[in-house]
A = this chain, B = another copy of it.
Amino acid sequence: MERTIGKFNPQPKHAAGEVTISCESCLVRDQALCGKLNVDELIAINQISRRRRLKAGQRITLDDEAPEYFGIVLSGSVKLTKVLPDGRQQIVGLLFPSDFVGRPFEQQAGCHAEAATDVNLCAFPAGPFERLARDYPAIQHQLFRFALSQLSAAQDWMLLLGRKTAREKVISLLLMFAGRLSETGCAAGKTSNRLEFALPLSRSDIADYLGLTLETVSRQFRVLKSEELIRLHGSRGVTILDLDRLRASFSHPTA
């Protein structure tokens, strides 16, 4: 389903550290919600978009404040976390390129959002974006569908958190990364069964994502390595040596 944007010339509006971008050259457009919009809607959304660069660790929103902007991840990953009063924390969502960041029409962000790696964002100021969503039902429709896919992912993760063992959690995480990172072109896959990529999270973040301690995560990586299922390079690099065998040894080591 090919689409052309046609000719349009959004008036460039410049502000400190921000540049007007054009959807024409956008690499994630087809996978993002913009990919399903028509030319008018795309022009409208392009008019209010500003590129934003975030360094790893940079906060986007606090859980109890209304965010000033929403956005679509162009590169890198954004993590969403919830924290208990005593400091225990849980990563409740991880956003990859083409994912939408933020909750239009909600008063509170609901969780802390921060850049897990360096991030490029196609950002939309909250107010104008909400107006656009109201004016163009197609935008609202795409937002709804994205919310449903996020809900579905959250429910899969609940099954993981509530019922899977440490080994199964780590393998599920690797397979999830393999899926998301290869579809967004962030993985260097040799064959269909072998895949190399950089983990977007530290050991401690992985622990907070899986509901484990970082020691347990580290040990499980070591176990998978000793089974020749994965290879580790430095602290962030991973190679899945055999995706099928990794899936097969989900619950128990395979001979």
A interface residues, Cβ below 8 angstroms from B? 80, 82, 84, 86, 88-90, 92-93, 103, 105-106, 110-111, 134, 137, 140-141, 143-145, 147-148, 150-152, 154-159, 161-164, 208, 210-211, 251
Inter-chain contact B148/A148, CB cutoff 8 Å: no
Q: Which of B105, B154, B159 has a CB less than 8 Å from the CB of A155?
A: B154
> In whole angstroms, how far apart are the Cα atoms of A203 and B107 in the complex?
36
Q: Which of B86, B141, B163 touches A89 (beta carbons < 8 Å)?
A: B163
Pairwise interchain contact A92-B159, C-beta atoms closer than 8 A: yes
Q: How far is the CA of A147 from the CA of B110 in the complex (A)?
A: 14
Q: Are B110 and A152 in contact (CB under 8 A)?
A: yes
| Residue from A84, A106, A147, A155 having most chain B Cβ neighbours under 10 A | A155
Is A92 a contact partner of B155 (Cβ separation < 8 A)?
Answer: yes
Q: How far is the CA of A151 from the CA of B155 in the complex (A)?
A: 9
* In contact, B155 and A84 (Cβ under 8 angstroms): no
* B residues in contact with A210, CB < 8 Å: 162
The answer on a CB contact under 8 Å between A148 and B103 is: yes
A-B contact pairs, 26 of them (CB 8 A): A82-B155, A82-B156, A82-B159, A84-B159, A84-B163, A84-B164, A89-B159, A89-B163, A90-B158, A92-B155, A92-B158, A103-B151, A105-B141, A105-B144, A106-B145, A110-B152, A134-B141, A137-B137, A137-B140, A140-B140, A147-B148, A150-B151, A151-B154, A157-B158, A162-B210, A162-B211
Do A158 and B161 touch across chains, with their CB atoms under 8 A apart? yes
Nearest B-chain residue to A105, judged by Cβ: B145
CA distance A152 to B110 in the complex (A): 7
Which residues on the B side are within 8 Å of A84 (C-beta)? 159, 163-164
Name the distance in Å between A188's Cβ and chain B's nearest Cβ. Answer: 31
Q: Which residues of B contact A161 (CB under 8 A)?
A: 158, 161-162, 211
Known: A82-B158, A82-B159, A158-B90. A151 touches B141 (CB 8 A): no
Return chain B residues, CB-CB under 8 Å to A211: 161-163
